[in-house]
Amino acid sequence: MAFSASTNFICLLMFLGGTGSLQAQESSSDLAKKLSNPIASLISVPFQFNYDHGYGPLDGDKITLNIQPVIPISLNGNWNLISRTILPVTWQHDIAGPSGTQFGLGDTVQSFFLSPAKPTASGIIWGAGPVFLIPTATDDLLGGEKWGAGPTVVALKQDGPWTYGLLANHIWSFAGNEERNDISSTFVQPFLSYTTPDAWTFALNTESTYDWKAEEWSVPINFTVSKLVKIEEQPISLTAGLRYWATAPDNGPEGLGIRVAVTFLFPK
């Protein structure tokens, strides 16, 4: 049923994609390419749904809605500060053996990037700053009950229709429930996307995490297709795709997962 829903969503994208004028498509293409830049000077509010399965001995299921607002702030003519927030809302069932069902907030990841207002002479766009882990989980199986912090960096280049780059961070825990495991985790996200003149974007990335305490990798590979449309002049990006878990801990997810997203854009 989940794969059928994903197929229907892609059909909806194709239907909506044919409804705009050429002028709107050209404008949407520029916005779609900006959306491929994690630190673009563009307010965006994505609602990203992920479904994964295969957790633990009972092959548990997890559905996560990531609310991910990106808010750029112009500090002066040379520098921007970009706030990126990830607030997960999760439903999960039997992810740790016969652990039942949990629903609620997970832990929040808050990043700030200080970024030059213009690309470098070679066209590189970059940003760097701190990342924070905030224990907002409403259930002990939805979060780590730890405060964390560390550095984050992003670098990318946009060359014609192509966007390619890397986003990374590392988080160490420094406070929280002493009975829970300490956190030392590296996140690495290389990404590649291609945006067409009629505002379709084809994207490939991994969202790899290395747990230095458990010495384990989690590596989902994501392929998504997005279409930017305008509904009563409101730009909206619609996304659907698949993810494959190339590597995960023994109690982690496996096989194929599904990703769909709706992103609201607020150009300046």
DSSP-assigned letters across all residues of 62-102:
EEEEEE--EEEEE-SSSEEEEEEEEEEEEEEESBTBS--EE
Closest Cα to residue 95, out of 139, 54, 55? 55
Residues of the chain with pLDDT > 90: what percent? 78
The rounded percent of the chain whose pLDDT value lies above 70 is 90
Question: What local confidence, expressed as pLDDT, does residue 3 receive?
Answer: 43
Confidence at residue 23, expressed as pLDDT on a 0 to 100 scale: 38
Domain residues for the domain of 195 are 2-266
pTM equals 0.86
The 3-state DSSP class for residue 57 equals coil
The total domain count for the chain is 1
How many CA atoms lie less than 13 Å away from 200 in the CB half-sphere? Answer: 13
Tokens of 73: 């702030």
Residue 29, pLDDT score: 86
**Are the CB atoms for 104 and 139 separated by under 8 Å?**
yes
Is the dihedral angle over the CA atoms 268, 261, 252, 181 positive or is it negative? positive
Distances (CA, A) of 183 to 110, 112, 141, 159: 16, 20, 15, 37
Q: How many residues does the chain have?
A: 268
Q: Please report, as a single letter, which amino acid is at residue 80.
A: N
SS3 203: strand
pLDDT at 99: 87
Confidence bin at 12 (pLDDT 50/70/90): very low
pLDDT in tens, 69-123: 999 999 998 999 999 999 999 999 998 888 899 999 999 999 999 999 999 999 9
In 3D space, the residue among 89, 134, 90, 144 whose CA is nearest the CA of residue 111 turns out to be 134
User: Residue 239's domain is classified under what CATH number?
Assistant: 2.40.160.40
Given a cut of 80, whether residue 254 has pLDDT beyond it is yes
Mean pLDDT along residues 135-158: 95
Is 90 exceeded by the pLDDT of residue 150?
Answer: yes
| pLDDT given at position 233 | 85
Question: Is a pLDDT exceeding 70 seen at residue 210?
Answer: yes
Provide the pairing of β-strand 234-247 with 255-266: antiparallel
Lowest mean pLDDT among 9-23, 54-68, 114-128, 178-192: 9-23
pLDDT at 15: 43
State the pLDDT confidence band at 128, using cuts at 50, 70 and 90.
very high
Q: Of 210, 226, 214, 219, nearest to 261 (Cα)?
A: 226
- Tell me the DSSP string of 154-180: EEEEEETTEEEEEEEEEEEEEEE-TTS
pLDDT at 17 over 70: no
**Within 10 A of 1 (CB to CB), how many other CB atoms are there?**
5
Task: Give the pLDDT confidence score for residue 232 in this predicted structure.
Answer: 87
Mean pLDDT across the chain, nearest whole number? 89
| Cα–Cα nearest to 122, from 88, 161, 152, 159 | 159
Q: Which of helix, strand or coil describes residue 132?
A: strand
